[in-house]
Amino acid sequence: MSPTRRTVLRAGVTGVAGAAGLTALSGRPAAAARPDTGVSVYPFPLSAVTLLSGPFQANMARTHSYLSFLDPDRMLHMFRLNVGLPSSAAAMGGWESPTTELRGHSMGHLLTALAQGYANAGPAAFKTKGDYLVAELAKCQDRAAAAGFNTGYLSAFPESFIDRVEARQSVWAPYYTLHKTMAGLLDMHLLAGNAQALDVLTKMAAWVKLRNDRLTQAQRQNMLDTEFGGMNETLANLYQLTGDPNHLATARYFDHAEVFDPLASNLDQLNGYHANTQIPKALGAIREYHATGETRYRDIATNFWDIVVGRHSYAIGGNSNGEYFKAAGRIASELSDTTAECCNTYNMLKLSRQLFFTNPTRADYMEYYEKALYNHILGAQNPSSSHGFHCYYVPLRPGGIKTYSNDYNDWTCCHGTGMESNTKYADSIYFHSEDTLYVNLFIASVLMWSERGITVRQETSFPETTTSRLTITGSGAFTLKVRVPSWATGAQIRVNGTAVTEPVTPGSYATISRAWASGDAVDISLPMALSRESTPDSAATQAVKYGPIVLAGAYGTNNISSLPTLNASTIASTSTPLQFTATASTGQVTLLPFYKMHGQRYTVYWTVGTTPQLPPFVAHYRFDETGGTTAADATGNGRTASLAGGAGWIAGRTGNAVNLSGSTAHVALPSGILAGATACSVATWVRVDTIATWARVFDFGAGTSASMFFTPRSSAGTARFAITSSGSGGEQRINAPVALTAGVWTHVAVTLSGSVGILYINGVEAARNSSLTRRPADLGTTTQNWLGRSQYGGDPYLDGALDNFRVYSRVLTAAEVADLHATGG
Ligand SMILES: [Zn+2]
């Protein structure tokens, strides 16, 4: 990134000085005094990306409607009264009521939302309203001394709240509230070109410095036990803009050692900490790294992200229960009505962006972004509300239901960050570096990459379809990096109809460098499949996903109080995109994308029966018993077999063998002998006394439709292994060149792995099939696992004996098979 690169300001925006830096901020134009250290990828300004029709645009439109509706004088009411200015506006309720200690916190969210809305497709009236708010706030700030406050103080509550923080007396979170205002002012300056906003902000920053300069380091650190939002982040951002070292020094006052020190050592000590108090600290750390180049800040932020995403996050990408981090890995045990506070994810998304700018080789940052954006943020707004009312918590207990804010009597923190989230969906679809364009998200939109004279139009209805088309207007050489999500097995990218030769590897960015020409079309195909995400503390507690989309069970008014048990094999698609049905312990249930789940109760998590993992060596029947009708499993796994139909004992290849010389004699192995196996080997000694067509050495199945078997002689006259999950017509076969020989002990082994199946006779390969697609797992839990008996009732039973029958859930090597033959094992 050249420090002289300019990004395009929205027409009419003036007053933004400077030429570089601040480019790692949210869609902000290049406008700072200082370049960011350690950043190699940059966002486009919000004005460069236009959303096209789709769910994100619909959400944005509702929030825009709310921004137009809000009465600025009601928002200013307590700011004015706080400094003795008159106000006849009606007081607001909820967290903005005149007696709530957090009053005024929504002002900053509103300023940011107006600035973002103005920069991204909103009306000019947003800037007018934002400018009015800034001007009126400036008047309040100018009255600080007259009201008995220190110069520069600006708030809807008295400065004595800060005295209480410093004295460690009870008070909600005054610095948190002031941070919101400061961040909103910075956005009004950077995104809406308001010069006065920077003046008011600079005075607030000077006031923060005044309050903290006079404290000891120990006093300041004690004070940081009270939630202070992203004071370090906003002050670092301000330093990048102004270059004033006082702003950096003040930012560092908010480096909370108790939280930063363990994170710098990559220790997870988050258990019991208020979650959304900590996330902005990490966001501040990464911006302090960008401002100073001190890698400890980078490590703190990187480690924090890894810890929170890896050990403290639900399937929807959110974190926290009752606003707090719990012990690492506690997810299934922390499902309640107060899970997944929306602000936390708003801040985790901001952190993910900054970390990606810092290390774009990590595709997982934007993969998490996709997960949390679709499954948490997008679905946290009520689509039935024309004003975009927003969730505070997102309940994840079974039977939970989303509840929402309102116009003037709620004002939770998440209502505020919701205004922000829903006015900046355009900010992370595309990023760029000098000569590279990143496509991160599959959201219908148009990008104007003005520095290169390139327009990219992305047309998609993802995730309801699995494709996206980029059409390029303009020409020139640049590298296109398309995020290939880790869930998109089989992803393909075509340029002008031809599949690219570059790797398209899930979990990375596909890199396509070429001289692009107007009209070039890039078609991205991202196949989705059903999958389930287990919780770390309960393997059987799982969320169902289709591609990246969490599917929740729709329960209407049924306030279920415990996790339903889901029969995962019954999940079936419907004619409606992303809508499925399934059978659960509660009966037939419809599964919907969680982002579309509104107005009814639901479950995100289920109890799903899991198939126990097979051991590599599943079973071994020596058949050395001398009496009785059971055959021991020599592996110690306890898979005892049963002799039936007159089967008995006889001298074998080594020791005894099972004698199947009766008309209905056979052996039954336990149910599910290879359930879930994707590879397997079966090996045995067999002596066939009479070769009868279609007799079986073994036949594992659940009837004639799904089975795998070996016959000494098929109707084609040779020995054959076959596997099918769709009857005889679907059999995939390995045909030996000849039939088994009657009356002699013969060693037979079959191995399956990937697409390769090999049949060994007497320790050497006799035949193979390299295009198999069926696996034991495709047969389900087989219940008729027979030796000497076919799934087909009309087939003959085996006349002969078996010895040392072995079953593996892994592939035996040729050497291992040869050794079994050589040793008689
Ligand atoms: Zn919140």
pLDDT band at 612 (very low <50, low <70, confident <90, very high): low
pLDDT at site 730: 87
- Ligand 1 center from residue 442 Cα (angstroms): 27
pLDDT band at 796 (very low <50, low <70, confident <90, very high): very high
- Ligand 1 center from residue 182 Cα (angstroms): 18
Would you say the C-alpha torsion 775, 776, 779, 784 has a positive or negative sign?
A: positive
- Ligand 1 center from residue 65 Cα (angstroms): 21
Q: Which residue has the higher pLDDT, 4 or 470?
A: 470
Q: Do residues 748 and 686 touch, judged by C-beta distance below 8 A?
A: yes
Q: Do residues 470 and 512 touch, judged by C-beta distance below 8 A?
A: no
* Mean pLDDT over the full length of the chain: 93
Q: Do residues 364 and 355 touch, judged by C-beta distance below 8 A?
A: no
- Ligand 1 center from residue 751 Cα (angstroms): 56
Q: How far apart are CA 509 and CA 430, in angstroms?
A: 13
Q: How far apart are CA 191 and CA 118, in angstroms?
A: 8
- Ligand 1 center from residue 266 Cα (angstroms): 26
pLDDT at site 638: 87
Beta bridge partners of residue 553, listed in sequence order: 591, 603
- Ligand 1 center from residue 79 Cα (angstroms): 22
DSSP class per residue in 431-451? EE-SSEEEE-----EEEEEGG
Q: Where, residue-wise, is CATH 2.60.40 in the chain?
A: 431-462+467-525
Q: What is the 3 state secondary structure string of 730-750? A: HCEEEECCCCCCCCCEEEEEE
Q: Do residues 236 and 289 touch, judged by C-beta distance below 8 A?
A: no
Q: Can you give the length of the chain in residues?
A: 825
Helices (H) and strands (E) in the chain, counts: 17, 36
- Ligand 1 center from residue 56 Cα (angstroms): 20
Weakest-pLDDT range from 107-111, 208-212, 676-680, 750-754: 676-680
Q: Do residues 120 and 46 touch, judged by C-beta distance below 8 A?
A: yes
β-strand pairing of 436-439 with 430-432 = antiparallel
- Ligand 1 center from residue 198 Cα (angstroms): 26
CATH of 617-823, one of 3.40.50.740, 3.30.1330.10, 2.60.120.200, 3.90.650.10: 2.60.120.200
Q: How far apart are CA 329 and CA 350, in angstroms?
A: 23
pLDDT at site 2: 29
- Ligand 1 center from residue 637 Cα (angstroms): 52
- Ligand 1 center from residue 663 Cα (angstroms): 74
- Ligand 1 center from residue 742 Cα (angstroms): 77
- Ligand 1 center from residue 227 Cα (angstroms): 12
Q: Looking at 635-783, which runs of residues are DSSP E strands? A: 641-644, 648-651, 656-659, 666-669, 680-690, 698-701, 707-711, 720-724, 732-735, 745-753, 756-761, 764-769
pLDDT at site 562: 95
pLDDT score of 1 more than 90: no
Name residues whose C-beta falls within 8 Å of residue 48's C-beta, 6 or more positions apart in sequence: 7, 8, 447, 448, 449, 450
The amino acid sitting at 62 is: R
- Ligand 1 center from residue 424 Cα (angstroms): 17
Name residues whose C-beta falls within 8 Å of residue 486's C-beta, 6 or more positions apart in sequence: 363, 364, 367, 506, 507
- Ligand 1 center from residue 344 Cα (angstroms): 7
- Ligand 1 center from residue 412 Cα (angstroms): 6
Mean pLDDT computed over 769-781: 84
pLDDT at site 360: 97
How much is the pTM?
0.76
Q: Where, residue-wise, is CATH 2.60.120.200 in the chain?
A: 617-823
- Ligand 1 center from residue 393 Cα (angstroms): 8
- Ligand 1 center from residue 392 Cα (angstroms): 6
pLDDT at site 167: 97
pLDDT at site 32: 54
Tokens 């076959």, located at residue: 722
pLDDT tens-place string over residues 359-368: 999 999 999 9
Q: Do residues 395 and 39 touch, judged by C-beta distance below 8 A?
A: no
- Ligand 1 center from residue 704 Cα (angstroms): 57
pLDDT score of 102 more than 80: yes
- Ligand 1 center from residue 464 Cα (angstroms): 29
Q: How far apart are CA 251 and CA 283, in angstroms?
A: 12
When computed from its CA atoms, the radius of gyration of the chain, rounded to whole angstroms, is 33
Q: Looking at 361-435, which runs of residues are DSSP E strands? A: 430-432
Which of 510, 360, 310, 407 has its CA nearest to residue 110? 407
Residues, CB within 5 angstroms of ligand 1 (ion): 341, 343, 413-414
- Ligand 1 center from residue 417 Cα (angstroms): 7
Mean pLDDT computed over 109-121: 97
Q: Which residue has the higher pLDDT, 773 or 329?
A: 329
Q: Where, residue-wise, is CATH 1.50.10.10 in the chain?
A: 18-428
pLDDT score of 10 more than 70: no
CATH 2.130.10.10 fits 18-428, yes or no: no
pLDDT at site 327: 97
Q: Which residue has the higher pLDDT, 672 or 46?
A: 46
Beta bridge partners of residue 100, listed in sequence order: none
The DSSP element (H or E) to which 66 belongs, if any, is: helix 55-69
pLDDT at site 505: 94
- Ligand 1 center from residue 110 Cα (angstroms): 15
Name residues whose C-beta falls within 8 Å of residue 296's C-beta, 6 or more positions apart in sequence: 264
Report the alpha-carbon angle 318-387-48, nearest 5.
75
- Ligand 1 center from residue 32 Cα (angstroms): 30
pLDDT tens-place string over residues 190-236: 999 999 999 999 999 999 999 999 999 999 999 999 999 999 999 99
Q: How far apart are CA 672 and CA 611, in angstroms?
A: 9
- Ligand 1 center from residue 179 Cα (angstroms): 14
Tokens 């946290």, located at residue: 380
DSSP class of residue 321? B
- Ligand 1 center from residue 352 Cα (angstroms): 18
Fold of the domain built from segment(s) 431-462+467-525:
Immunoglobulin-like (2.60.40)
β-strand pairing of 756-761 with 617-621 = unpaired
Q: Is the bond preceding residue 398 a cis peptide, omega within 30 degrees? A: no
CB-CB neighbours of 628 under 10 Å: 10
**CA distance between the termini of the chain:** 67
Which of 276, 273, 201, 279 has its CA nearest to residue 241? 201
Q: How far apart are CA 289 and CA 298, in angstroms?
A: 6
- Ligand 1 center from residue 345 Cα (angstroms): 9
- Phi, psi torsion values for 381, nearest 5 degrees: -100, 140
pLDDT tens-place string over residues 543-563: 999 999 999 999 999 999 899
- Ligand 1 center from residue 102 Cα (angstroms): 12
pLDDT tens-place string over residues 294-342: 999 999 999 999 999 999 999 999 999 999 999 999 999 999 999 999 9
- Ligand 1 center from residue 608 Cα (angstroms): 32
pLDDT at site 22: 57
pLDDT band at 14 (very low <50, low <70, confident <90, very high): very low
pLDDT band at 490 (very low <50, low <70, confident <90, very high): very high
pLDDT at site 16: 33
- Ligand 1 center from residue 276 Cα (angstroms): 8
pLDDT tens-place string over residues 355-406: 999 999 999 999 999 999 999 999 999 999 999 999 999 999 999 999 999 9
- Ligand 1 center from residue 226 Cα (angstroms): 16
Mean pLDDT computed over 698-705: 91
The DSSP element (H or E) to which 280 belongs, if any, is: helix 275-292
- Ligand 1 center from residue 722 Cα (angstroms): 59
Report the alpha-carbon angle 74-80-86, nearest 5.
90
CB-CB neighbours of 245 under 10 Å: 9
Sheet holding 698-701, edge to edge: 630-631, 641-644, 666-669, 784-787, 698-701, 707-711, 720-724, 732-735
Tokens 């995962």, located at residue: 568
268, HSE (Cβ side, Cα atoms, 13 Å):
14
- Ligand 1 center from residue 281 Cα (angstroms): 15
- Ligand 1 center from residue 414 Cα (angstroms): 4
DSSP class per residue in 119-139? HTT--HHHHHHHHHHHHHHHH
Q: Which residue has the higher pLDDT, 274 or 724?
A: 274
